Amino acid sequence: MNLTTERARVEYDAAVGAIGDLVFHVRDVGYDVVVDKITLPVQGLARAASGADLETRLKSLDGVMSVSANVANELIAVEIIPNLVTYNDLKNVIRAAGYDVLEVSGAEEEFVDREKVARAREMLREKRDLLIGIAFTIPLFALAMARDLLHSVLLRHDILPQLFEWKYFDWMLLALALPVQFYVGRAYHRGAWKSLRARAPNMDLLISLGTNAAFWYSAIVLIAAQFQFFIGEHVYFETAAVIITLIKLGKYLEARAKGQTSEAIKKLMNLRAKTARVMRDGAELEIKASDVRVGDIIIARPGEKIPVDGVVLDGASAVDESMITGESVPVEKHIASKVIGGTLNTSGALKIEARKVGKETALAQIIRLVEDAQMSKAPVQKLADQISAIFVPVVVVIALATFALWSVFGPLPQFTFAFVNFVAVLIIACPCALGLATPTAIMVGTGKGAEMGVLIRSGGALETTHKIDTIILDKTGTLTRGKPVVTDTITNYQLPITNEQMTNEKFLTLVASAEKRS
């Protein structure tokens, strides 16, 4: 389970249960599973009496949640769990049933970039909520604080006392607090309710309890005052609004970090070739790289990316493998040489036999390694998870005890003093950092490492790095300072015109002269 990426990895026995059973249990405890809806145009579906057979075939795929076929329009809508079912899996089943899928430009790319789109939507949603929260919270906070600081010399103007003594002033504060409390903070209230239903209280419960307590106490004080019933003197609408807006700011920054970190994986994915030239039935065809099969004969021309891992059958060339291996100089390839998908063919044409395709290629395994590292848990995170499980109930108990004790032993007005401390305990003790700090650090660290060419196997490996006192490196020459350094100057020759013997001093003079004007 990774709170930062909002992913869970589950191992299950297919003979005992199915993916649908896992989804049911996840939803039963108050969470949800991200699904993707794809609409495919199916050629020939109108000739069928119904789409029931095709629906049944597609539902048999693990990861397909629902299927709906429209025979009249020759469309089929499939609801899937991302990463469990691929675009090609759906096409293969449809074709096996006797139909064909009309190719839609960009469909596969959209399928692959699903996570990027989801991150962008999440960041846009958090940004919108944050801006709405700021728009209402700033005037609310300014008005509430200005009234409390009315005695200040800077605020002694004629209009301000009149505004603060206006009988509807507190109602104005209520109006400003309403959208923040129930729109901007809606996710926390829903999360709190789901956590209670699942009997697994989380930080949303503390936020919701604290802000709702401040908001509804203030609302009751305000309403009671209209009926000449005194409960308290102060209202705390600004407290609830400021808390929600500040936490929303943190969520927005977190969403930005997620989006920026996932770009490292996207850069690796962009190394893959989009198309491939294959020999089939004696003809050279250009197809999508994802459609290449093991055993296909691929033609790689100069300047083209090699689409899959394979072995050279014919030709000779130099291949730039720096993006995969870090080797700065192109590697010579000839018959029987192995090539890596995603590398760049630079000089000659190559005929390659595909040996590994799809998820089996070296580049795909590198991407999977980075994703696995981001999903892994460091030992300190496991400890944090154990603490978080009991932390929230303990905080609620402490907050209630705080309220009870200050109600009896606190200064006057006792109820108000106890209430303020009750809210303070709930909000200050919010365990956001316990559950999010470590996985966020691992996610950012592994992502940045991949971006710079350093692959980290797991969060545990990252955590133990501080214990390293010795580093052993091989001597292939791939590790350098990144700057060329002159080691020797050899000047044992004569100048071609004057036949003058070249010396080190004269050579350095010529080099300095050339550098000065360059």
Domain tally, the chain: 4
The domain boundary, picked from 339, 368, 397, lies at: 368
Q: Are 242 and 423 in contact (CB under 8 A)?
A: no
Considering the domain boundaries, does residue 148 fall inside one? yes
User: Torsions phi, psi of 354, nearest 5?
Assistant: -70, 125
Judge if 144 and 287 occupy the same domain.
no
On the question of pLDDT at 253 being above 70, the answer is: yes
Judge if 155 and 230 occupy the same domain.
yes
Residue 139: domain span: 117-266+377-438
Considering the domain boundaries, does residue 319 fall inside one? yes
Considering the domain boundaries, does residue 469 fall inside one? no
pLDDT at residue 125 in the model: 86
Q: Are 64 and 78 in contact (CB under 8 A)?
A: yes
On the question of pLDDT at 43 being above 80, the answer is: no
pLDDT level of residue 110 (50, 70, 90 thresholds) = very low
On the question of pLDDT at 213 being above 60, the answer is: yes
Q: What is the pLDDT of residues 6-42, one digit of tens each?
A: 677 777 776 666 777 777 777 777 777 777 777 777 7
Distance CA 88, CA 85 (A): 8
pLDDT at residue 134 in the model: 95
pLDDT at residue 179 in the model: 95
Judge if 251 and 123 occupy the same domain.
yes
On the question of pLDDT at 152 being above 60, the answer is: no
Judge if 135 and 255 occupy the same domain.
yes
On the question of pLDDT at 52 being above 80, the answer is: no
Considering the domain boundaries, does residue 11 fall inside one? no
Find the angle CA(451)-CA(456)-CA(462) to the nearest 5 degrees.
Answer: 120
Least confident stretch, 122-126, 207-211, 483-487? 483-487
Both structure tokens of 210: 């604290």
Judge if 145 and 255 occupy the same domain.
yes
Considering the domain boundaries, does residue 9 fall inside one? no
Q: What is the pLDDT of residues 314-332, one digit of tens each?
A: 999 999 988 777 777 889 9
Considering the domain boundaries, does residue 308 fall inside one? yes
Residues listed for the chain: 518
Considering the domain boundaries, does residue 5 fall inside one? no
Q: Are 210 and 192 in contact (CB under 8 A)?
A: no
pLDDT at residue 2 in the model: 63
Judge if 63 and 123 occupy the same domain.
no
| Alpha-carbon separation of residue 179 from 5, 15, 188, 193, 214 (angstroms) | 29, 50, 14, 19, 15
pLDDT level of residue 444 (50, 70, 90 thresholds) = confident
Distance CA 333, CA 326 (A): 17
Judge if 103 and 245 occupy the same domain.
no
The domain boundary, picked from 51, 77, 112, lies at: 112
Judge if 135 and 92 occupy the same domain.
no
Average pLDDT (348-364) is 88
pLDDT at residue 261 in the model: 60
Which of the listed ranges 45-54, 128-137, 368-377, 423-432 does the model predict with the highest average pLDDT? 128-137
Average pLDDT (296-315) is 92
On the question of pLDDT at 472 being above 70, the answer is: yes
Judge if 327 and 400 occupy the same domain.
no
Q: Is 322 or 308 the better-scoring residue by pLDDT?
A: 308
Considering the domain boundaries, does residue 299 fall inside one? yes
pLDDT level of residue 126 (50, 70, 90 thresholds) = confident
Classify 370 as helix, strand or coil.
Answer: helix
Judge if 100 and 45 occupy the same domain.
yes
Q: H or E stretch including 66?
A: strand 64-70
* Active site members: 474
Instruction: Report the CATH number at residue 282.
Output: 2.70.150.10
Judge if 161 and 248 occupy the same domain.
yes
Classify 170 as helix, strand or coil.
Answer: helix
Both structure tokens of 4: 């930062």
Q: Are 302 and 348 in contact (CB under 8 A)?
A: yes
Average pLDDT (301-315) is 92
The domain boundary, picked from 335, 350, 368, lies at: 368
Judge if 155 and 237 occupy the same domain.
yes
Q: Which residue has the tokens 């980075």?
A: 370
